[in-house]
Amino acid sequence: MYSNYPRTQNSSIFSVSEISGLIKNTVEDSFSQVQIKGEISGLKIHSSGHIYFSLKDEYALINSVCFKNYAKLLKIQLEDGLEVILTGKITTYTARSNYQILVSKVELAGQGALMELYEKRKKALAAEGLFSSIHKKAIPKIPRKIAIITSETGAVFHDICHRITDRFPLDVMLYPSNVQGRGAEINLANAIAHLNEISDKADLIILARGGGSIEDLWCFNEEILVRAIFNSKIPIISAIGHETDTTLADYAADLRAPTPSAAAELATPDKNEIKQNLDNVEVRLKRALFILTDNLEQRLKYINILHPKESLKNKAHELNNLHHKLCYLFTQNINYIEQKLVRLRLGKDKLSANLKYQQNYLNNYSKNFTQAQNNLIESKTSKLQYLSKLLESYSYKKTLARGFSVVRTAKGEVISSKENLSYPLNIEFKDGTVKIK
CA distance linking residue 146 with residue 268, whole number of Å? 10
Residue 424: asked if its preceding bond is cis (omega within 30°), the reply is: yes
CA distance linking residue 67 with residue 48, whole number of Å? 9
Question: 6-15, 59-68, 365-374, 398-407: which range is least confident on average?
Answer: 6-15
CA distance linking residue 5 with residue 138, whole number of Å? 73
Beta-carbon contacts of residue 290 (< 8 Å; ≥ 6 apart): none
CATH of 116-132+142-269, picked from 3.40.50.2300, 3.40.50.261, 3.30.70.340, 1.10.8.50, is 3.40.50.261
- Fold match, 16-109 / 116-132+142-269: no
Residues of 341-350 as b/e, b for ≥16 C-beta within 10 angstroms? eeeeeeeeee
pLDDT digits (tens, 9 = 90+) for 200-223: 889 999 999 988 877 788 889 999
User: Across the strands, what pairs with 209?
Assistant: 240
Beta-carbon contacts of residue 283 (< 8 Å; ≥ 6 apart): none
Residue type, 280: N
> Residue 370: which H helix or E strand, with range?
helix 348-394
DSSP string of 239-255, one letter each residue: EESSTT---HHHHHSSE
* Mean model confidence pLDDT for the chain: 82
Q: What is the pLDDT of residue 197?
A: 92
Residue closest to 257 by CA, chosen among 126, 150, 130, 111: 150
Question: 75-89, 154-168, 415-429: which range is least confident on average?
Answer: 415-429
Residue 229: pLDDT over 90: yes
Cβ of 101: how many Cβ atoms within 10 Å?
A: 21
Q: What sign for the dihedral angle of Cα 78, 83, 86, 91?
A: positive
Q: What is the pLDDT of residue 393?
A: 67
pLDDT digits (tens, 9 = 90+) for 334-377: 777 777 766 665 555 666 777 777 788 887 877 888 888 888 88
CA distance linking residue 215 with residue 118, whole number of Å? 11
CB 139 within 8 A of CB 255: yes
User: Domain map of the chain by residue range?
Assistant: 16-109, 116-132+142-269, 308-393, 399-436
Residue 284: pLDDT over 70: yes
Residue closest to 212 by CA, chosen among 148, 151, 123: 151
CA distance linking residue 21 with residue 8, whole number of Å? 14
**Distance of CA 28 to CAs 32, 89, 280, Å?**
5, 7, 81
Q: What is the pLDDT of residue 2?
A: 46
Higher per-residue confidence, 308 vs 363? 363
CA distance linking residue 52 with residue 214, whole number of Å? 26
CB 267 within 8 A of CB 234: no
Q: Helix 184-197 and helix 223-231: axis angle, to 10°?
A: 10
Higher per-residue confidence, 219 vs 94? 219
Most confident by average pLDDT, 106-115, 161-170, 412-421: 161-170
Pairing of strands 204-209, 236-240: parallel
Tell me the pTM. 0.49
Pairing of strands 406-409, 425-429: antiparallel
Residue 317: pLDDT over 70: yes
Q: Which fold has domain 16-109?
A: OB fold (Dihydrolipoamide Acetyltransferase, E2P) (2.40.50)
Distance linking the first and last C-alpha atoms of the chain: 155
Residue closest to 247 by CA, chosen among 267, 266, 229, 265: 229
Q: What is the pLDDT of residue 1?
A: 44
Pairing of strands 51-56, 34-45: antiparallel
pLDDT digits (tens, 9 = 90+) for 11-22: 578 888 888 888
CA dihedral of residues 37, 38, 43, 47 (deg, nearest 10): -10
Q: What is the mean pLDDT of residues 187-201?
A: 92
CB 53 within 8 A of CB 43: yes
Q: What is the pLDDT of residue 66?
A: 92
